[in-house]
A and B are shown apart, each in its own frame.
Chain A
């Protein structure tokens, strides 16, 4: 029983980490809360649904198209919405409200075009779970955990060792100094949106396979992704991943005692505790948090 809770927690954590790491990457360079990130994930799940279930395109090609599409979506959101606002010297609060508006826009478009009902991909038949010491885990769930770990390692390597990754960290650390040494911050902003949204696209595919697709899933995922980033230390990708696993575990332990509808609320209670006692998060730097 306890092992099952633990495994469910790890699966949930892996799903959240796919949301949180992209969000955190975008936050680290852009320094504002891109709340529409969750809606981007919901939207790309619907794109996968459109390509695979309605148009009947091969799953792997659909997936590839979905990831590409999501990256472009992230790029265009930055290019058409955030960049013009930044040019007008919009503060982080204005960008946050803009991202809330964007979240609602994407959600409403999904409802208008696809309807408010729940969709399923029906790619994988409900398969027999594998028993590990009395706990059940499905092959897809193993894949989710596997992918999230691989992505994390890849992202770490990318940030530490590639030129673009280093430039991103430079902008995240100090935008003005980075610009002095010739790094275009606007360029880096675009790249973090492209890469962050690409990760979101991969997340969207796995989430669409594991759960049902519905228009409001973006908000719920964003709550988890955001909370995970804050408790792990906002702007730190390893922190976001760590935070995701903590949220996943605490949630699954929590719903042993509470009705499962309280899942979102549990995440926020953890968020409050962290904001109150350790607002920098576990691995975070304290930059720009308090007045």
Chain B
């Protein structure tokens, strides 16, 4: 029983690691105050759910989830490329509200507030991932791959230009870098991995509804990134583990479930405020949030 619960937490940690390190790519490395991450997560989850329910294979669903989210990320980056800090934050936040409204209201596609139940667990290369231990193996595999992909992006020349844009966009531009294009690439890549996280989430939970993708779900992801420290991938993994495990004792103290949800949000938000005050760079971060 405890074991099964522990595996559940580990799978959640994997999904949140993917979400947080992909947000690091746009927020931490490129310095884009991107608050649309939960929308890309939603796009990935719904794309996967709809395709998997129509019987498409695992590899196609997860790839399509990523590509569709990336496409949305790219399209969103076009009008918002020229906006700075807090304006970008609000435009991207607006995008998450639009996606949320669509998910909630386009009932013929998404089944609205009733959600989409019965998403089949994936089968891939002859392995059936319907039990949680196998699914955990799958998630950790995907997470490790994504971690190394993002790690190599940040170490590549492209990643260095992203960091240059974060530190001084004008200087990067005067060196002949096409900063707008690179910002778009950063947003699209970041969205791609968020879409994949959404896909894993849909496969794992097997039921998705709009409440998993509302704006308040952004707070834990944002807290992870800020606590781990901007542009620090190991810090992000460390922070994810803390953030996921921190509210768990609440469950055992015996609060009613109607209080656990808001109490968890409360803890995340308080933690975020405390970190912003005492350690605005996070635990392993090297850069300030401009």
Contact = CB atoms under 8 A, between A and B. Distances in A.
Given A107-B216, A108-B262, A115-B258, A265 B101 contact: yes
Interface string B89-121: 111001101100110110000000000000000
B86 A92 contact: yes
A227 B97 CA distance: 12
Contacts of A262: 101-102, 105
**Most chain B CB atoms below 10 A, which of A102, A104, A262:** A104
A157 interface: no
B272 interface: yes
Nearest to A272: B79
A94 B273 CA distance: 10
A269 B289 contact: no
Which interface class (under 10, 10 to 19, 20 to 34, 35 or more) fits A? Answer: 35 or more
B216 A104 contact: yes
Interface residues of B, number: 46
Contact of A290 (B82, B261, B268, B272): B82
A288 to B, nearest CB: 8
A129 to B, nearest CB: 28
Given A108-B266, A112-B259, A265-B98, A97 B289 contact: yes
Given A230-B90, A289-B84, A261 B104 contact: yes
Nearest to A227: B94
A261 B280 contact: no
A112 B264 CA distance: 11
Given A101-B276, A261-B105, A290 B91 contact: no
Contacts of B105: 259, 261-262
Interface in A213-270: 219, 223, 226-227, 230, 259, 261-262, 264-265, 268-269
Given A97-B226, A97-B272, A100-B222, A265 B97 contact: yes
A101 B83 contact: no
What secondary structure prevails in chain B residues at the interface with A?
helix
A141 B123 CA distance: 58
Contacts of A88: 277, 280
B169 to A, nearest CB: 6
A274 to B, nearest CB: 10
B114 to A, nearest CB: 14
A289 B87 contact: yes
A58 interface: no
A162 to B, nearest CB: 29
Interface in A83-128: 84-85, 88, 90-94, 96-98, 100-102, 104-105, 107-109, 111-112, 115-116
Contacts of B90: 33, 226, 230, 271
Contact of A101 (B84, B259, B263, B272): B272
A105 B102 CA distance: 26
Contacts of A94: 276, 280, 289
A60 interface: no
B226 A92 contact: no
A229 to B, nearest CB: 10
A290 B84 contact: yes
B147 interface: no
B103 to A, nearest CB: 10
B280 to A, nearest CB: 6
A64 interface: no
A183 to B, nearest CB: 24
7 nearest interchain CB pairs?
A: A265-B101, A261-B105, A108-B262, A268-B94, A104-B269, A108-B266, A111-B262
Given A102-B269, A108-B263, A223-B97, 10 more contacts: A88-B280, A96-B33, A97-B289, A104-B265, A105-B269, A105-B273, A109-B262, A115-B258, A116-B258, A289-B84
5 contacts: A90-B280, A94-B289, A105-B269, A108-B263, A112-B263
